[in-house]
Structure 1
């Protein structure tokens, strides 16, 4: 379980979620639920503490 430190960082990774770059706009990221595969949200930049889909944490 990821914990906020209060210093704009997280300790650990967020479980059961992954992120990937948006196919049509690479400056945006999409967050996906790892168990159902549904997309949850998108944002400009990347999510803190959420593993990339091709990352070794998954």
Structure 2
């Protein structure tokens, strides 16, 4: 389950919240919408570390274009 994960969001996220993803590292990388962070039934996406790295690299490259 995701109850004991240490969640964090980007330092680029604003203090207002509501439009952020939160990430937690474990055997898999867990991702959730910060709007639902307080809910124990929050939907999460779990992907491999390799997939997360590929996504972050793609996003960084796309931001430069």
TM-score (norm 1): 0.28
Higher relative contact order (CA 8 A, sep 6+): 1
TM-score (norm 2): 0.26
Higher helix share: 2
Higher strand share: 1
Specify the structure having the higher radius of gyration (Cα).
2
